[in-house]
């Protein structure tokens, strides 16, 4: 997955003979490159389509995406969602149970 604004730096062409300045420049460029790769900058996911996301996170592995209303959420390890909901009510001779 590529970051849209991220570009690898152009590397300098080596001299015919050993030149310490060339290697210093090369190392600096590589350090910048790896720093960018290691950064926590958000990825630009232009055109990503999330279709058919589950609405119930029960049973999903951690870090799964699910939909709650019009919001997309990520199931984190510390999140707690009920496994099931049940209720019961009676009125006279009528009983209603929802599970």
Rounded CA gap, 50 and 93, in Å?
Answer: 47
Tokens representing 95 are 């009983």
Identify the segments of the chain with pLDDT beneath 70. 1-6, 40-45, 81-86, 90, 94-99
> Domain residue spans in the chain?
12-41, 45-99
Per-residue confidence (pLDDT) for residue 42, from 0 to 100 = 59
Rounded CA gap, 33 and 12, in Å?
Answer: 13
Rounded CA gap, 13 and 34, in Å?
Answer: 19
3-state secondary structure labels for all residues of the chain: CCCCCCCCCCCCCCCCCCCHHHHHHHHHHHHHHHHHHHCCCCCCCCCCCCCCCCCCCCCCCCCCEEEECCEEEECCCCCCCCCCCCEEEEECCEEEEEC
Residue 72 per-residue DSSP state? E
Per-residue confidence (pLDDT) for residue 1, from 0 to 100 = 44
Could you tell me the pTM of the whole model?
Answer: 0.38
């Amino acid at each position: 997955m590529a970051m849209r604004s991220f570009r690898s730096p152009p590397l300098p062409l080596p001299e015919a003979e050993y030149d310490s300045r060339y290697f210093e420049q090369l190392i600096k460029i590589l350090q910048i490159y790896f720093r960018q790769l290691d950064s926590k900058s958000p990825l630009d996911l232009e055109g990503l389509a999330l279709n058919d996301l589950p609405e119930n996170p029960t049973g999903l592995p951690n870090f799964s995406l699910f939909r709650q209303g019009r919001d997309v959420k990520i199931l984190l390890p510390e999140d707690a969602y009920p496994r099931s909901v049940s209720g019961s009510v009676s009125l006279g001779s009528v009983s209603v149970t929802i599970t």
